Amino acid sequence: MSLLLTVTGPDHPGVTAALFDVLAAHRAQVSDVEQVVVHDRLLLGVAVHGYEDEPALVTAVAARAVELGVEVECTALPGSARDEAGLRHHVIVLAAPLLPAAFAGVARRLAGCGVNIERVLRLSSFPLAAYDLLVFGGDTARLRTELAAEAVAQEIDIAVEAATLWRRARRLVVMDVDSTLVQGEVIEMLAAEAGCTAEVARITACAMAGKLDFETSLRTRVALLQGLPVAAVDAVRAQVRITPGGRTLVRTLHRLGYAVGIVSGGFTSITDDLVADLGLDHALANTLEVVDGRLTGGLVGPVVDRARKAEALREFAALQRVSMAQTVAIGDGANDLDMLAAAGLGIAFNAKPVVRAAADAALSVPFLDAVLFLLGIPREEVEAADAADAADAVDPPPHG
């Protein structure tokens, strides 16, 4: 027979130590411990066995609880409540704000899948609420299907990831560029400089409707840029803006020792600047052909299409000596589907419906650093690291 001791009340130093002193005095063996503090209120659960005199133990714990100003409930445990070899998942819920009805809907879906919530950890309160639910049981595919439906119904974002060793490992994160790492589509900005916006938009629409494959649509659009001076390309480079949260995401990933790369159906004239600016580890994009200071309307080398993006992800992983299970891919369009499928975690960022449906996780918020929550990284830790770096920059530590 085992006992579960559930301790609740105001938190203050010494509570845990005093209660464990009682358990030690009665020779109890600890089989499980969970503790959390929520707004200065303590919740401590301790499962014990092996004690000799249960009534004496319960009486002693209750007396010490009174002295400490907390309450304790003792519940008999008949034995192992479940198979501990079962699969755990991290379910990340993001919303702004997160309403009780939405949380209830998520909990209902989990219960319907035969899943139990073991722990809830707050990752962020502002500018959006983010919570990490560690859950036990259930099938990964079914969980993603059920929770994706609830995400649509509640207008929130939900991600499901198996709680495996890979979640704690060093990772490679690879992003699409246009409408992911940077705002907008560079080809459209170049078209505006060349005065062919309408023609480029028409071709793009045909590609999105499935009437043209990506390579054909890209080569056709680039051909319309023939004669555009390099100075106009430089003007577009100056207009490119990194998506809010993009710098924070890359900076934080590098602090963790992760490698960060980009793969783009766009152009090296843009990605080269991003590599230099953000210190990216890998990059692949298309190269616009230039002769005598003007675009020829052609490309140099093979086109970076959806298959090439997935291939690049594998190449980058090999260079970093990480398994594909340790890779994360982020994108928004159909050209990213193969890459998202190949990655250990594929994230759709403000993506088309077909991409959201195919990805492991989907984000609809405008902040790219929300990806950090899907990796289990709390906002408070990111801000603390930024503050420490800022303090070091003002008053650098002495060198020995």
pTM to 2 decimal places? 0.85
The two domains 2-77 and 88-163 share their CATH topology (first three levels equal): yes
CATH superfamily of 172-379: HAD superfamily/HAD-like (3.40.50.1000)
| pLDDT tens track for 310-335 | 999 999 999 999 999 999 999 999 89
The domain spans of the chain are 2-77, 88-163, 172-379
| pLDDT tens track for 290-308 | 999 999 999 999 999 999 9
Active site residues: 176, 178
Enter the CATH code of domain 88-163: 3.30.70.260
Structurally, at CATH architecture level, domain 2-77 sits in 2-Layer Sandwich (3.30)
Rounded Cα gap, residues 291 and 229, in angstroms: 10
Predicted pLDDT at 311: 98
Rounded Cα gap, residues 123 and 143, in angstroms: 21
Stronger pLDDT, 339 or 167, i.e. the higher one: 339
pLDDT over threshold 60, residue 23: yes
